[in-house]
Structure 1
Amino acid sequence: MIPPTHNRLTRRGFCLCCTGATIFAATGGWLTPREAYAQAKGIVGVIRAAAERDPIKLHHLRGNVSVLEGSGGNVAVLPGSDGKVLIDAGISASRSRIVEAMSTLGPEPIRHLINTHWHFDHTDGNEWLKMEGANILAHENTIKHLRSAQRVEDWDFNFPPSPPAALPTESMSAEKSLRLNNSTLLLKHQRDAHTDGDITVAFAEADIFHTGDIYWNGIYPFIDYSTGGSIDGTIRAVDAILETISAETIVVPGHGQPVSNKTELKDYREMLASIRSNVAELKKQGRSLDEAIAARPTATFDAKWGQFVIDPAFFAKLVYEGV
């Protein structure tokens, strides 16, 4: 049985890519990585069930850009005469509520979808959105992962290939600029960060920046080493984003509270770098994984960042893998 706390977490944007750990319902303690892997095996069903019932919350930003919260990752929407543009697809079980929420933004059909990376909670809606007429764009590595079976070791989970009807129809490599709905969208590949296929999307005129899962607002992130992610690449990507944005930029994270800013992103970067330094020092001392986790290298940050499904022990384990 999945602990009741999972239901609460799904309503905050719970996703398949962050199932490494959860809170012991009875004790308030943290699951070990091994125990968390066992939990992960049934999480696809949990996510689909949550998406079938959980509400979609609409956040209006500026420049006609909005964000949908409640179906996997945070989904940005830009309506207009070229058809609605979506950043990420959410989970297909939320389809009816996504359509209902988007109907309040205007009558335009869905014509464009950008996948920020390949994970289930960002691409599960690809098939129905493609059926609606959306052209799907993704990084070439994202398409590669969707086309073939994928095993994510840190979830102990095997993903089958996506059906042909769900595959992106257009690829990019390094950078791409789109002009849609009187807006300039600047797409950039952030190498070896959350995965090896992460795309960030800047809405230039509105000064809004969607980070995908490179940034998790107020919560420890998952890093997918199985498909090319890394702690160092994540930090580099955050640095690159910070150099790009201003104090006025609205930052949309992949997970967590969907409206953020440069100050909060700087705090996230400080957390990542500090924990990386702590874990690297423990590893340099010859500490084993269990010994490093027991030393609590995340302790300074746990009260703020460790209260979600990637718990302190599991995040320390992820960083240990990458230093």
Structure 2
Amino acid sequence: MRRLAYALLVAASVPAAAQQQDFSKVEVRVERVAPGVAVLFGQGGNIGLSHGEDGNVLIDDQFAPLVPKIVAAVSSVDPDPIRFLINTHWHGDHTGGNERLGQAGAVIVAHDNVRRRMSVETFSKQMNQTIKATPKAGLPVVTFAGGVNFHLNGDRIQVVHVPNAHTDGDALVYWTGADVVHMGDTFFHRVTFPFIDRESGGSIDGMIEAAKRGLALVKPGGKVIPGHGPVATREELKAYHDMLVDVRSKVAAGVAAGRTRAAVVASKPAAPYAATVAADGFIKPDRFIETMYDELKAKRR
């Protein structure tokens, strides 16, 4: 199941690819993280949930076929309607349920670049596939450049844009009272090495800065919801940040020394961290290094 889930991490950016999968056996599990905050695990990106007297706010929504199960899981926590849906970025395993939830009345909120990318048909070189434009009902109707705040359910929920990290439209979502941050796909916890979507404007330096921003938001003892993987501690997010910094420095040194891509990959700069990531993760160490090498090499030209 884990292998399938992460094989879908990119493929699911194409709605048709998601429709071809059998979601009938997927269970949506709820984990309560803090008062008024929960996370839903199913297939695709982790879903954050703010619940309480003002209604439900979702962060991401996985795939369209899972919407009935997602709604049922939300109702098991709070029977009120889903008022708002925040997308952490544009990939289909985080936005696949947008159209159905938008049709049901949820107000969709995301960064400007999320709407821009979802509004047009795009060809993905890395997948050799065309990603169709999202129907109007699934597009964000409220967009922001730097961020936006929600004052709901007895908390202030900060939505903060972190530029050019996993993509060019990433947002972190922080519950200031509950001290919980949803990192979207700027943080992959235990399940795979990081996926930096350079075609969507992602970068290793942005990933590092996103992790740093998350650390500045969440306090010691707070909880961190990754885009994929189990709920983490602030200390685990710090270890992830330090891994990114360490591996980047090694790859950058290889690039500066004029070493070839193959030579840098063969030096295994991510090897010390292999035990912290699932062996069947979607992004293998070599691919992680190749992506980083290509980016840092291009920056030196």
Is TM (by shorter chain) over 0.5?
A: yes
Matched, 1:140 2:112: yes
Matched, 1:315 2:288: yes
| 1:248 aligned residue (208, 218, 221) | 221
Indicate how the Cα distance of structure 1 residues 48 and 69 shifts in structure 2: closer, same or farther if over 3 A, else same.
Answer: farther
Deviation per residue, 1:2-37 (Å, 9 max, x gap)? xxxxx3434xx5363356xxxxxxxxxxxxxxxxxx
Deviation at residue 157 of structure 1 after TM alignment:
3.2
Indicate how the Cα distance of structure 1 residues 41 and 98 shifts in structure 2: closer, same or farther if over 3 A, else same.
Answer: closer
Residue 184 of structure 2 corresponds to 212
Q: Please say which of residues 280-289 and 96-105 is displaced more in the overlay.
A: 280-289
Distance 2:20 2:162 in 1: 29
Deviation at residue 156 of structure 1 after TM alignment:
3.3
| 1:17 aligned residue (9, 21, 26) | 9
Indicate how the Cα distance of structure 1 residues 105 and 150 shifts in structure 2: closer, same or farther if over 3 A, else same.
Answer: same
Matched, 1:286 2:258: yes
Deviation at residue 237 of structure 1 after TM alignment:
1.4
Q: Please say which of residues 223-232 and 277-286 is displaced more in the overlay.
A: 277-286
Amino acid at match of 1:117: H
| 2:47 aligned residue (75, 81, 88) | 75
Which runs of structure 1 show a deviation greater than 4 angstroms over 4 or more consecutive aligned residues? 40-44
Matched, 1:106 2:106: no
State whether residues 41 and 156 of structure 1, in contact with CA within 8 Å, keep that contact through their aligned partners in structure 2: no
Matched, 1:196 2:196: no
Q: Please, which runs of 5 or more residues in structure 2 have no aligned partner?
A: 297-301
Matched, 1:224 2:216: no
Amino acid at match of 1:222: F
Deviation per residue, 1:120-166 (Å, 9 max, x gap)? 10101000111111000000011000001223333333311111121
Distance 1:134 1:248 in 2: 32
Deviation at residue 89 of structure 1 after TM alignment:
1.4
Amino acid at match of 2:218: I
Deviation at residue 48 of structure 1 after TM alignment:
5.3
Q: Please say which of residues 171-180 and 287-296 is displaced more in the overlay.
A: 287-296
Matched, 1:187 2:159: yes
State whether residues 152 and 227 of structure 1, in contact with CA within 8 Å, keep that contact through their aligned partners in structure 2: no
SS in 2 for 1:251: strand
Distance 2:31 2:287 in 1: 31
Indicate how the Cα distance of structure 1 residues 172 and 70 shifts in structure 2: closer, same or farther if over 3 A, else same.
Answer: same
Structure 1 vs Structure 2 CA RMSD: 2.1
Deviation per residue, 1:57-88 (Å, 9 max, x gap)? 11011122110011310001122333211001
* TM-score normalised per structure 1: 0.85
State whether residues 9 and 282 of structure 2, in contact with CA within 8 Å, keep that contact through their aligned partners in structure 1: no
SS in 2 for 1:61: strand
Distance 1:90 1:133 in 2: 17
SS in 2 for 1:53: coil
Residue 91 of structure 2 corresponds to 119
Percent of aligned pairs with the same residue? 35
Matched, 1:174 2:146: yes
Indicate how the Cα distance of structure 1 residues 15 and 60 shifts in structure 2: closer, same or farther if over 3 A, else same.
Answer: farther
Distance 1:227 1:52 in 2: 31
Amino acid at match of 2:291: L
Indicate how the Cα distance of structure 1 residues 279 and 18 shifts in structure 2: closer, same or farther if over 3 A, else same.
Answer: farther
Residue 237 of structure 1 corresponds to 210
Deviation at residue 296 of structure 1 after TM alignment:
1.7
Deviation per residue, 1:184-208 (Å, 9 max, x gap)? 1111100111111111111111111
Amino acid at match of 2:212: D
State whether residues 116 and 122 of structure 1, in contact with CA within 8 Å, keep that contact through their aligned partners in structure 2: yes
* TM-score normalised per structure 2: 0.91
Residue 84 of structure 1 corresponds to 56
Deviation at residue 93 of structure 1 after TM alignment:
1.4
State whether residues 17 and 121 of structure 1, in contact with CA within 8 Å, keep that contact through their aligned partners in structure 2: yes
Amino acid at match of 1:224: D
